[in-house]
Amino acid sequence: MNIMPRKPWAKWCFFASLGMLLFGYGFITASYKVFPYSLISMANEGWHTLMELWKPGPSFPKNPRWELPIYSSGEPFEMKLLLARHTENWDVEIVVIDFDGRIWHRWLLDVHALKARWDSDPERLNWRTSVEEERLFVHGMALLPCGDLVFNLENLAMVRMQPDGEIVWFKSIKSHHSMELDLDGNIWTCGAEKVNPGSPANPWIDQSILKLDTNGNILQYWSLTELLQRNQFHGLAYPEFPDYHNDRYHVNDADPYVIDDTTGRFNRFDILVSLRNANAIFVFNTLDSTIKYFSSGHFTRQHDPDFIDGNRISVFDNRFVGADPSEPTTRIITINAMNNTLFTNFIDSSYCMTMGRLQWLVPYFVLITNPHAGRTYVVSKEQKVVWAHNYYLPSGARGKLLDARVLKLPIHSTFDTLPSDSP
């Protein structure tokens, strides 16, 4: 049966009517999401996914310093480094290496055995944070003068371990992010405590600054909420960050002042604290718990601020929100606390969103660590990369670093002998 009209003008009217009908149904489909709206949406989503997969990725110029396991421009560094890194099966390995990449000592941590030990500890704080749902890792470590290693198993425990791997003590506290030794040899780290202001459905987590002796005893404790309230920093104590409800501060560093400089405004009783989610750092005096310096606004989602001298602080600025959010970068900056002037030491175009580290070695050389890129490297005053370690797994894939620090002081003789199987 022929449904087409016999007259030519009638044919055009037919197609026009058909077009209007299709347009009308398309309008109704889009407006009221009726059939076949879901099919079209799925097809559209699939198309965009394919386009994302086929789109060429960003191209980075090949450069030996980002490719070789060890890159060196010839600058001599006699020191050794302590590196924490994930193994291929997501255990954690902590090694003492030199700047030639030779491994002088190795601890291989069975993180699941450590987790089982935490599980069986009746003293543990038995509540969970999002961090614990992820892979277990080391975040913050220190080498004691006797050669023992102390580290944070992030948000689960602090552990002291002998060079042969024997555990000296295991303390189920929610220590995390950083670990530093003060001039008396005591340990400083960040802690976490669950606080419920009255509503079980609305709990939030207070965080703390902890000082411990090398036997694992907590010597001093500061609740961040109490410290901020006491110093009239209510805006930091009660930020309006609904997304960070359970992580309102995200304290990620607590550094004691260990600099041999008594001429500036900071001294050995001061602690430098970083609150990532508030984009803020502050220095408080431990004798009277007063906040004597505060800075915010110059950096975003910062990590690992360090005292440089009696007046200056260096910050690993993640620049999560930069001038061009589509091309975020990381930079190292130095702030002069006397006049709040800012100096940019180095800009790294390879963005490091979390866990970044910096450490000033000798004047004008800074060690920068981008854990996700599996690299730690040294930059000179001229902003030149003079040394780099790029971590590769045995499979050849790039591995993930967790922490890196140069061991400045003479270290224990345990690490003076190169093992025969060292690469």
For residue 33 the two structure tokens come to 């999401």
Cα–Cα distance, 271 to 281 (Å, whole number) = 11
Closer to Ca ion by Cβ: residue 148 or 255: 255
Spatial contact of 398 and 391, defined as CB atoms under 8 Å apart: yes
Spatial contact of 158 and 171, defined as CB atoms under 8 Å apart: yes
Closer to Ca ion by Cβ: residue 118 or 307: 307
Closer to Ca ion by Cβ: residue 256 or 399: 256
DSSP one-letter code for 239? -
We find the least distance from the C-beta atom of residue 255 to Ca ion, in angstroms, to be 4
Cα–Cα distance, 274 to 180 (Å, whole number) = 14
We find the least distance from the C-beta atom of residue 345 to Ca ion, in angstroms, to be 15
For residue 10 the two structure tokens come to 């009638």
**Residue ranges that bind Ca ion, judged by CB under 5 A:** 253, 255, 304, 306
Instruction: Determine the residue type at 331.
Output: R
For residue 333 the two structure tokens come to 């900056």
First to last CA, the chain: 84
Closer to Ca ion by Cβ: residue 111 or 401: 401
Residue 148 backbone dihedrals phi, psi, to 5 degrees: -75, 150
10 Å Cβ neighbour count for 48?
10
We find the least distance from the C-beta atom of residue 165 to Ca ion, in angstroms, to be 27
Which H helix or E strand runs over 169? strand 167-171
Radius of gyration of the chain, Cα coordinates, nearest whole angstrom: 27
We find the least distance from the C-beta atom of residue 211 to Ca ion, in angstroms, to be 16
We find the least distance from the C-beta atom of residue 281 to Ca ion, in angstroms, to be 10
Closer to Ca ion by Cβ: residue 72 or 318: 318
We find the least distance from the C-beta atom of residue 356 to Ca ion, in angstroms, to be 11
Closer to Ca ion by Cβ: residue 172 or 302: 302
